[in-house]
Chains A and B, each alone.
Chain A
Amino acid sequence: MKAIDCGRRAAPEPSAPRGLVFDIKRYAIHDGPGIRTTIYLKGCPLECAWCHNPEGQLGVPEIIFWTGRCIQCGACLEVCPEDGDLDAAHCRRCGRCVQICPAGAREMAGRWMGVREVMAEIGQDRVFYDSSAGGVTFSGGEPLQQPEFLAALLRACQEEEIHTAVDTCGFAAPSAFDQVSPDTDLFLYDLKLMDDAAHRHYTGVSNRLILENLRRLAHRGAAVTVRVPVIPGISDDAGNLDAIGRFVASLGAVNQVDLLPYHRMAADKYGRLHRKYRIPATEPPSTERMEQLAEGLRQWGIAVTIGG
């Protein structure tokens, strides 16, 4: 058996920017209106304790190991230039093990793609966008980490008359927002913690730039839905929610908040990346708790949805 390259090769696109994409999911029904395709761009300035896409954090391709799929045939060890030391610290991310693995147990998260290539994938589900007033959502990681690529994709979608949404943590240069705003129909904008010290502790960065960017977007009348991950013991206290309510109410134009209940479905992903999950003991919030928090926010005159 020889190694195979299952990746599809697109024609080179010399002039267009390229970007690092780690996943493309179709029939996304909770990332904006209608039936959508979500494009996940790799690389994020934050490192949230609860992140459910840890494979999207690093701005380089990396190897995921699905232990359950491994049949222990040893093919990966034979081709490894590090003599089979597959530990993350030594891995050069050359991808030979990915190519040889017959079971698909080793997967490369992150693929450099051209605009045309991504647009071809987006175009696949056109009939579903048309039937549902859906479209495309760019998520991550943090899509604004790759502003040139994102802007080019958004422009291409607008030319195709496909609705666009950008799912962002808000931590990006204001100039990046300037670049992408004209072609973004909807921002899905995360607000996590209003207390700056807590924000630094749990995400690794200050929230000041995030709040400022949101103010600017609101000021220029962009369509924004604020999304709040509700992480028990971290972001679910009444004080935080109240501060978010006050802040959103002060923005005027922004009037929609989605409360996203914490889930544990990503916990296994950390092991596959040889990383540690920081909040293994956290339980998902109860439906009653979610309702209670939503009700609190509604006091600020905000429309609140639980889930996306």
Chain B
Amino acid sequence: MNARVTRLREQSLRAVPSISAERALLLTDFYAQVDRLLSIPVQRALAFQHILQSKAICINDGELIVGERGPAPKATPTYPEICCHTAEDLDILNTREKTPFHVSSDVRRQYEDRVIPFWQRQTMRERIFELMTCEWKAAYETGVFTEFMEQRAPGHTVLDDKIYRRGMLDLIGDIQAARDGLDFLQDPAAYEKQEQLKAMTMAADALICFANRHAEKARELGAREPDPQRKAELDRIARVCSHVPAHAPRDFWESLQMYWFVHLGVIIELNPWDAFNPGRLDQHLYPFYQQGLADGTLTREQATELLQCFWIKFNNHPAPSKVGVTAQESGTYTDFATINTGGLRPDGADGVNEVTYLILDVIEEMRLLQPGSNLQLSKKNPDRFLKRAARIIRTGFGQPSIFNADVVVQQLIRQGKSVEDARNGGTSGCIETGAFGKENYNLTGYFNLPKVLELALNNGLDPRTGLRVGPPTGEASSFGSYAAVWDAFVRQLCFLIDTKVRGNNIIERLYATYLPVPFLSLLIDDCTRNGLDYHAGGARYNTTYIQGVGLGTITDSLTAIRYHVFDHGTITMAHLLQALAGDFRDNEPLRQLLLHRTPKYGNDEAYPDAVMQEVFEAYYQAIHGRPNTKGGHYEINWLPTTVHIYFGSVTGALPDGRRGGEPLSEGVSPVQGADRNGPTAVIKSVAKMDHVRTGGTLLNQKLTPQLLSDEVGIDRLAQLVRSYFKLDGHHIQFNVVDAATLRAAQREPDKYRDLIVRVAGYSDYFCDLGETLQNEIISRTEHPVI
């Protein structure tokens, strides 16, 4: 990378994440004076406008792509309309060991004087907790599930190619056409639609105004700039920002700036999960790249530099600060924006192009936490593409992860998307499948499956708190068959899923009613045509997810009961229950038996893998196809981010030999250390799940560097991936590190700050992870050279 990029990258790495009160204060000012007769969408659009008109404009020295969510890199705004941090929260954020945010005394005072008094008892978070049932609260508090919307807005979405073809003014034209078509005689919702469309126009205008402010600022800086080269760049920035986002971009530079303004709009309007994503960046940029090379206005080096500057913008934006359970389930600075490469074109042809390889070069060279990156690998993509990625993976950077583009298409078509929308789709966040630019695919919370078994073995009572959480399903000591155990498990499961869905149906409507997102609605088809907000079912497709967690742990636990208590009679149910109640104290031989003399998922063995399939089926049946509030339905997926640590901490000893408090397994991976037959056996076991009937699964494989030390290793890794995908696996990611390096990093974190590892669906700095997770990564089964 050149001197400019090196400097910007250094700045970004060195910037300390901090809390900025800017947005909170502007929002407070606005709502203190708002005309309450205005419709809520219009109020939200005006608030958005107020923030973009008033917030500080930041153009960092040397930048080519401009715009910050806060007043400076990593100055992170808050969203008090959703969750208003208390003074105590701010102290915790300021001092906590992992993922802290610096809170200055000014910010603390502004919060205490203005923000907290205004928003206290007025937030979405408080409203949600007030409206939930006792059953919901018991399950939430004991760690049966988490709630995604209590601190962050529904998002989980990705952009398609529309902003490279149409500017904000074009979108405003579309909105006008929709307004003209409103039928106040026949359509009882015409007024609501009119207000929503009005709000969307205001939001589009607000972004244009925001860009113009950047153009002015660039001109102002240019006038004072002594260096002629930088002066020329600032002049170019001013011209770019005067053109996009009002109009469609005309070249490579404008395309990247166009996306970046849109990205900022989405993450300033609210704090949606997974930030926002450009989708098929390589395909979107390719025409501009080709055109630039052809007419001599762009070189490969310039394109690379612009992409690198674009990468830095993502890294300047940590995830909004989270507290409580939400901080535990997603304990990371990464905001899950991810760059897709490869896949298919809408006509079904191979989507890999020259920009794909350019992007892969940038990923390798930048080595930044954000944005994340992934391959959408189709059988039609060349091996060169996969091997190029494998050589990046080999460096131990944890990126990119690899997705099966052909299975993603199958999943989307099964869910009811058109073929074109499916091929334009892909994955985002950790592993979530979605139709880019057309779908609201909303994750609502993690679901702790091992906890459900714990409840089934305790007649619905949580042993840790003594609370009644599930229905009474019988004393486990009286279960005379495995079928009886299974029946109690399924009854607990169905009750708790009902409880979660009942809550979701309220929370979805709260967001639709009180926190519409007119700006995001501009970007996702068919919100304009439907005159409906993104949160209210305006998108073409609307899918709600509850994410299953602990598949390996629940499978091994049920397997152990079936195998030892009922099939072989090695132990009695009473003995097992007593050992679990005592956390295996004075029962070490039994724990060893459960750990080492029991079939385990992840070894390509029929016995445990059949149990996995039954668990999958039960979870699928309990959730799949239920209607949501947006005209869509529920689907399942399997990912944990970091929640398997939190869920583990609230779940007691389990029949797989796991002690109380230890982490659960993550994604669809086997229990840590339980896979002893190498990566092919893991893949075979995991592929016995029907990935096509999910909206994404996460498989983490740790490899020692030796396995990839030569070209033979690269070839074999590529073949391993191709084989998994032939078996319809959804996703695989590789952690290529050795345990010794990780232990050294634990001892001397300062020497290993750049060490990024992949943890459950994203990559993170190893030294930022909690000790438990660090230890877990170290203990994960390695697959050394045979």
Quote the shortest CB–CB distance from B781 to chain A (angstroms): 12
Is B680 on the interface with A (CB-CB < 8 A)?
Answer: yes
- Whether B592 contacts A102 by the Cβ 8 Å rule is yes
Chain A contacts of B575 at CB under 8 A?
1
Is B625 on the interface with A (CB-CB < 8 A)?
Answer: no
| A26 vs B678: C-alpha distance when bound (angstroms) | 6
B499-507, B628-636, B706-714 - interface stretch:
B706-714
Is B483 on the interface with A (CB-CB < 8 A)?
Answer: no
Known: A27-B680, A75-B589. A4 touches B597 (CB 8 A): yes
Contact digits for B54-87, partner A, Cβ 8 Å, 1 yes 0 no: 0000000000000000000000000000000000
What interface size band does chain A fall in?
A: 20 to 34
Residue from the list B568, B684, B710, B723 in contact with A4, Cβ < 8 A: B568
| A40 vs B316: C-alpha distance when bound (angstroms) | 54
Known: A1-B571, A131-B722. A29 touches B589 (CB 8 A): no
| A73 vs B783: C-alpha distance when bound (angstroms) | 30
Is A300 on the interface with B (CB-CB < 8 A)?
Answer: no
- Whether A124 contacts B710 by the Cβ 8 Å rule is no
- Whether B681 contacts A124 by the Cβ 8 Å rule is yes
Is A71 on the interface with B (CB-CB < 8 A)?
Answer: yes
- Whether A102 contacts B596 by the Cβ 8 Å rule is yes
A31-39, A161-169, A238-246 - interface stretch:
A31-39
- Whether B716 contacts A35 by the Cβ 8 Å rule is yes
Is B34 on the interface with A (CB-CB < 8 A)?
Answer: no
Q: Which residue of A lies closest to B715 (CB)?
A: A132
- Whether B588 contacts A125 by the Cβ 8 Å rule is no
| A3 vs B593: C-alpha distance when bound (angstroms) | 10
| A131 vs B727: C-alpha distance when bound (angstroms) | 11
- Whether B712 contacts A2 by the Cβ 8 Å rule is no
Chain A contacts of B589 at CB under 8 A?
1, 71, 73, 75, 102-103
Q: Which residue of A lies closest to B593 (CB)?
A: A102
Known: A104-B596, A307-B710. A38 touches B680 (CB 8 A): no
Quote the shortest CB–CB distance from A188 to chain B (angstroms): 14
- Whether B715 contacts A2 by the Cβ 8 Å rule is no
Is B463 on the interface with A (CB-CB < 8 A)?
Answer: no
- Whether B677 contacts A26 by the Cβ 8 Å rule is yes
Is B416 on the interface with A (CB-CB < 8 A)?
Answer: no
Is A127 on the interface with B (CB-CB < 8 A)?
Answer: yes
What interface size band does chain B fall in?
A: 35 or more
| A125 vs B569: C-alpha distance when bound (angstroms) | 32
Known: A4-B597, A102-B596. A124 touches B684 (CB 8 A): yes
Contact digits for B740-775, partner A, Cβ 8 Å, 1 yes 0 no: 000000000000000000000000000000000000
Is B439 on the interface with A (CB-CB < 8 A)?
Answer: no
Is A30 on the interface with B (CB-CB < 8 A)?
Answer: yes
Is A128 on the interface with B (CB-CB < 8 A)?
Answer: yes
Chain A contacts of B6 at CB under 8 A?
none
- Whether A69 contacts B596 by the Cβ 8 Å rule is yes
Is B719 on the interface with A (CB-CB < 8 A)?
Answer: yes
Known: A4-B597, A124-B604, A127-B726. A27 touches B679 (CB 8 A): yes
Quote the shortest CB–CB distance from A264 to chain B (angstroms): 13
Contact digits for B555-583, partner A, Cβ 8 Å, 1 yes 0 no: 00000000010001111000100000000
Is B786 on the interface with A (CB-CB < 8 A)?
Answer: yes
Quote the shortest CB–CB distance from A238 to chain B (angstroms): 25
Contact digits for A122-153, partner B, Cβ 8 Å, 1 yes 0 no: 00110110111010000000000000000000
Q: Which residue of B lies closest to A28 (CB)?
A: B786
- Whether A4 contacts B713 by the Cβ 8 Å rule is no
Q: Which residue of A lies closest to B596 (CB)?
A: A104
Is B590 on the interface with A (CB-CB < 8 A)?
Answer: yes
Chain B contacts of A104 at CB under 8 A?
592, 596-597
Chain B contacts of A6 at CB under 8 A?
597, 599
Is A25 on the interface with B (CB-CB < 8 A)?
Answer: yes
Is B131 on the interface with A (CB-CB < 8 A)?
Answer: no
Residue from the list A30, A38, A102, A130 in contact with B712, Cβ < 8 A: A30
Is B720 on the interface with A (CB-CB < 8 A)?
Answer: yes
Contact digits for A3-27, partner B, Cβ 8 Å, 1 yes 0 no: 1101000000000000000000111
Chain B contacts of A73 at CB under 8 A?
588-589, 592
- Whether B726 contacts A29 by the Cβ 8 Å rule is no
Contact digits for B593-623, partner A, Cβ 8 Å, 1 yes 0 no: 1011101000010000000000000000000
Is B785 on the interface with A (CB-CB < 8 A)?
Answer: yes
Q: Please indicate which of the listed interface residues B568, B569, B592, B678 has the most CB atoms of chain A within 10 Å of its own CB.
A: B592
- Whether B786 contacts A103 by the Cβ 8 Å rule is no
Count CB-based A-B contacts (< 8 Å). Answer: 98
Quote the shortest CB–CB distance from B211 to chain A (angstroms): 49
Known: A2-B570, A4-B570, A127-B726. A26 touches B680 (CB 8 A): yes
Chain B contacts of A128 at CB under 8 A?
680, 719-720, 723
| A201 vs B722: C-alpha distance when bound (angstroms) | 47
Residue from the list B568, B604, B727, B785 in contact with A29, Cβ < 8 A: B785
Quote the shortest CB–CB distance from B155 to chain A (angstroms): 37
Known: A25-B786, A29-B786, A103-B596. A71 touches B680 (CB 8 A): no
Residue from the list A30, A69, A103, A131 in contact with B785, Cβ < 8 A: A30
Residue from the list B568, B722, B786 in contact with A27, Cβ < 8 A: B786
Quote the shortest CB–CB distance from A7 to chain B (angstroms): 11
Q: Which residue of B lies closest to A29 (CB)?
A: B716
| A127 vs B593: C-alpha distance when bound (angstroms) | 33
- Whether A29 contacts B712 by the Cβ 8 Å rule is yes
Interface residues of A in 56-91 (CB under 8 A from B): 69, 71, 73, 75
| A125 vs B724: C-alpha distance when bound (angstroms) | 11
- Whether A38 contacts B786 by the Cβ 8 Å rule is yes
Known: A26-B681, A128-B720, A131-B719. A2 touches B569 (CB 8 A): yes
| A31 vs B785: C-alpha distance when bound (angstroms) | 11
| A101 vs B593: C-alpha distance when bound (angstroms) | 8
- Whether A132 contacts B680 by the Cβ 8 Å rule is no
Q: Please indicate which of the listed interface residues B569, B571, B785 has the most CB atoms of chain A within 10 Å of its own CB.
A: B785
- Whether A34 contacts B719 by the Cβ 8 Å rule is yes
| A307 vs B680: C-alpha distance when bound (angstroms) | 22
- Whether A125 contacts B570 by the Cβ 8 Å rule is no
Chain B contacts of A131 at CB under 8 A?
719, 722-723, 726
- Whether B592 contacts A127 by the Cβ 8 Å rule is no
| A109 vs B710: C-alpha distance when bound (angstroms) | 32
Q: Which residue of A lies closest to B590 (CB)?
A: A1
Quote the shortest CB–CB distance from A228 to chain B (angstroms): 18
| A102 vs B720: C-alpha distance when bound (angstroms) | 34
Q: Which residue of A lies closest to B784 (CB)?
A: A265
Q: Which residue of A lies closest to B783 (CB)?
A: A27
Chain B contacts of A124 at CB under 8 A?
604, 680-681, 684
Quote the shortest CB–CB distance from A186 to chain B (angstroms): 16
Quote the shortest CB–CB distance from B588 to chain A (angstroms): 6
- Whether A102 contacts B719 by the Cβ 8 Å rule is no
Chain B contacts of A27 at CB under 8 A?
678-680, 716, 720, 783, 786
- Whether A31 contacts B786 by the Cβ 8 Å rule is yes
Chain A contacts of B720 at CB under 8 A?
27, 35, 128
The 24 sampled A-B contact pairs (Cβ below 8 Å) are: A1-B589, A2-B571, A26-B677, A26-B680, A26-B681, A27-B786, A29-B707, A29-B716, A31-B786, A35-B719, A38-B786, A69-B596, A103-B592, A104-B597, A124-B680, A124-B684, A125-B684, A127-B684, A127-B723, A128-B719, A130-B723, A131-B722, A131-B726, A132-B719
Given known contacts A1-B571, A124-B680, A132-B716, what 9 new A-B pairs fall within 8 Å (CB)?
A: A2-B569, A25-B786, A31-B786, A73-B588, A75-B589, A101-B597, A102-B589, A127-B727, A307-B710
Leading 3 A-B pairs by shortest Cβ distance: A132-B719, A104-B596, A102-B593
User: Chain A interface (Cβ within 8 Å of chain B)?
Assistant: 1-4, 6, 25-31, 34-35, 38, 69, 71, 73, 75, 101-104, 124-125, 127-128, 130-132, 134, 307
